[in-house]
Amino acid sequence: MITWLRIGLIVVSLFAVTLILLPFQLAGLLFDLKIRRRVPRYWHRAACWLLGIRIHVHGHLEYRRPLMLASNHVSWKDILVLGAVADVVYIAKAEVADWPIFGTLAKLQKSIFIAREQKRRTGEQVNEIAERMKAGEIVVLFPEGTTSDGNRLMEVKSSLFGAAAAAAPYTSGGVVHVQPVALAYTRVHGMAMGRFHRPIAAWPGDIELVPHLMGVLKEGALDVDVAFGETVDFRTGDNRKHLSQAITSRIRRMLIRHLRGRDYEGM
């Protein structure tokens, strides 16, 4: 009974926060005001607090712009976590726009939707990414292209870094700063999660969303490490695969370090 009361309180509270912040975000979107970049961070912080997600930041967000963050992808909770740490915008596959609730939230955050199979739109989509980064927005890319079980970094698709490669010529100085980020879900109720329990935090694609969401609401008290690594400066003419390899290596080392409970000391 207490569990269901807690879930009800979370849902009602999050709905109230949404109603309070929504007018500001809609105004920001309507008039393209910078406030539309900041409002989502307040919402994500409130959502993390209500869900019991405790965030531990290691390292520092790159201060230079244009900036792209490349992160491993464990769950939909990654959106909340990164959104609570910085004013970011996500690159998402086009079908996300049609998802119930999550699609609406993605649109309100003005996510960049990519239709990978529509090659004729590639130029248009890359131009949008470049323009958003030139305007100072921090773009988040999940180069695995899907979610994992939280225990490892899956194969990274170098083709997804094409956004950085194609955007570089259109940015000031012909450079895009790409910073690796590792998200490691490490504890539940203060106890080490381990490989067996980490699926509580992870959301692999074969698990239904609603049951997983209910499980997270029932559990609460998740700890996640957000580790920022050394930035790679990607310039016009640089090799996209070399960028992918460098970022992959750094994400994997940081992820392993935090899953094993070691403090992050930089790269």
**Digit-coded pLDDT (tens) for 180-235:** 999 999 998 888 887 777 767 777 666 666 666 777 777 778 999 999 999 999 99
Half-sphere exposure of 4 (CA within 13 A, CB side): 1
Domain tally, the chain: 1
Range of the domain at 59: 53-259
CA geometry: angle 131, 135, 136, nearest 5 deg = 125
Q: Does residue 37 sit within a domain?
A: no
Q: Does residue 9 sit within a domain?
A: no
Q: Does residue 137 sit within a domain?
A: yes
35-51 and 77-85 helices, crossing angle to 10°: 120
Three-state DSSP state, 132: helix
Q: Does residue 29 sit within a domain?
A: no
Dihedral of alpha carbons 236, 238, 243, 246, sign? negative
* Per-residue model confidence (pLDDT) at position 145: 85
CA–CA separation, 90 vs 40, rounded Å?
12
Q: Does residue 7 sit within a domain?
A: no
Q: Does residue 221 sit within a domain?
A: yes
Q: Model pTM?
A: 0.91
Q: Does residue 12 sit within a domain?
A: no
Closest CA to 85 of 214, 182, 219: 182
Q: Does residue 31 sit within a domain?
A: no
